[in-house]
Structure 1
Amino acid sequence: MSPRDPATDEAAAGPRVALVTGAARGLGGVTARRLHEHGYRVALTDLDEDAAVAAAAALDPTGDSAIGLGLDVRDKAAFGVVRDTLTDRWGAVHVLVNNAGHSKVEALMDIEPDSFSSVVSTNLNGTFFGCQVLGAHFAERGHGRIVNVASLAGQNGGTATGAHYAAAKGGVATLTKVFARELGPRGVTVNAVSPGPQDLPVVRESVPADQLARIEATIPVRKLGRPEFVADMIVLLAAEHADAVTGACWDANGGLFMR
């Protein structure tokens, strides 16, 4: 008798389940929609629970294939509550997308300790807790996918979004490798995507048009990134058959950072 393949067992059990943090809007919302379009049951989690519930209802008003849940990623125990909720509802979780983020535009020398801790807690601690809690869940079952959202800022030392944000996102890229080494032998892949400036509504609303034009002029491809493309990268890394890639960080920055 040949060994059982956990991935095959999951496919036979029904749609795969993905948990996306920071999914009420922005890249997280786009990623949740893309995963849903690919047949996943999706849990959209966010600190803003009402917005997460509304975003999930836009994908599936019945709640059969998409639900919104409140989640403070700074609280490790909260990840366990969400994991148990999804396991009770849909049987398991198969994919985690650590997308929740927080930034403050502050001059390097003006960043206060509380501000630094706040930004790092959401971006780095939150990713660590998600990898810990869901990584253990996946390892126990012998199969799982984790995709962390890093940032160009964490690669090139850019401080346009704050030095604390850049430091935290650099940490996310390193944590990705650490967890990839730890969980790889147990059937779990851990990867990251690293977007540059993205064409998101919040960007268009908050950045003056002339400043956006100057930003685009610095990008080799001369345009902001498309969040749909980044979401497609995440969907690919989350796929059942994507078991040959782990510990990787895929760039989507229009050529701003090349290696």
Structure 2
Amino acid sequence: MTASRVAVVTGAARGLGRVIAGRLHEQGYRVVLTDRADEAVRRAANELDPGGTTALALPLDVRDKAAFERARDEAHRRWGRIDVLVNNAGMSTVEPLMEISPESFSAVVSANLDGAFLGSQVFGAYFAERGAGRIVNVASLAGQNGGTATGAHYAAAKGGVATLTKVFARELAGRGVTVNAVSPGPLDLPVVHESVPADRLAEIKRSIPVGTLGSPLFVADMVALLAAEHAGFVTGACWDVNGGLYPR
């Protein structure tokens, strides 16, 4: 039953991660919200469950393998099981390609790609030992089209996330563990409106065949579908959620 299942969501203090955590919680999951922003993620967990019986906030820097191990151990100690990992955490900076510094490139790739790798490694081993588990990664249309609205470092990292999804899916197949990804196009999130100039955002909307930004809640529903117990026959897949905005 969903009511007994436990999901860990990275980057859950705000944005898409917060929406995913909320959706899973609505469906009866006990949810572990993790984020580098310690106070913000605690507020997010408190909004879901002020009593703290079905929502737990944990600090987690996804670039640190030991931090994933601590989160795994604390979640298991609290509830005795973990069923789902959602690798959502990431970051981006909008910079012209030829002006991206080595430091900026490494920081963005580390936050997006290293986090998916380390999380999948730590929780994949845990799930394989249990003989059951779901890993859902958040990739991006940017990883397919080269990041026309984001930095090249973000696009490269998200392309790597899609590839890692297939690698881990193959490694964990046959052990009751599935690994899939969702690949959203531009979403109707506060961070998008905050970071993209209005004229550029209007241009992006015009380029989307369905004519609107995507719904974060629908992406969360896709994640929930791939996380479900009955989703065991889908693995290594990357599900596009892009309003028809496919790479050229």
Interval containing the TM-score (normalised by the shorter chain): over 0.9
Secondary structure at the residue paired with 2:174?
helix
1:28-80 deviation per Cα after TM superposition (whole angstroms, max 9, x unaligned)? 00000000000000011001011000000000000000011110000011100
Structure 1 residue aligned with 2:135: 146
Q: Which moved more, 1:92-101 or 1:200-209?
A: 200-209
How many residues are aligned here?
A: 248
Q: Which residue of 2 aligns with 1:106?
A: 95
Equivalents in 2 of 1:166, 1:36: separation in Å?
30
Cα distance between partner residues in 2 of 1:106 and 1:191: 29
Match of 1:38 among 12, 24, 27: 27
Residue 121 (str. 1) matches residue 146 (str. 2): no
**Structure-2 residue corresponding to 1:3:** none
Corresponding residue number in structure 2 for 1:229: 218
Structure 1 counterpart of 2:121, from 126, 132, 148: 132
Task: Decide which of 48, 64, 82 is 2:53's aligned counterpart.
Answer: 64
Aligned partner of 2:71 in structure 1 is 82
1:210 matched residue in structure 2: 199
TM-score (norm 2): 0.97
Distance 2:145 2:61 in 1: 28
Tell me which residue corresponds to 1:4. none
Q: CA deviation at 1:236?
A: 0.2
The CA deviation string for residues 160-180 of structure 1, in whole angstroms up to 9 with x for no partner, is 211011000000000000000
8 Å contact from structure 2 (residues 147, 154) kept in 1:
no
TM-score (norm 1): 0.93
Counterpart of 1:190 in 2: which secondary structure?
strand
Could you tell me which of 235, 238, 241 is aligned with 1:252? 241
Picking from 187, 203, 206, the partner of 2:176 is 187
CA distance in 2, matches of 1:121, 1:244: 31
The CA distance in 2 between the partners of 1:67 and 1:200, in whole Å, is: 24
Q: Residues 158-169 of structure 1: matches in 2 within 5 Å?
A: 158-169=147-158
Classify the secondary structure of the residue corresponding to 1:86.
helix
Aligned residue in 2 for 1:19? 8
> What is the distance in 2 between the residues matched to 1:57 and 1:96?
20
Which ranges of 4 or more aligned residues in structure 1 deviate by more than 6 Å? none
After superposition, what is the alpha-carbon deviation per residue over 1:165-222, rounded to whole angstroms, capped at 9, x for unaligned? 1000000000000000000111100000000000011222333433322211000001
SS of equivalent residue, structure 1 residue 185:
coil
Identity %: 72
C-alpha RMSD of the superposition: 1.3
Structure 2 stretches lacking a partner, 5+ long: none
- Contact 2:144–2:247, Cα closer than 8 Å, also in 1: no
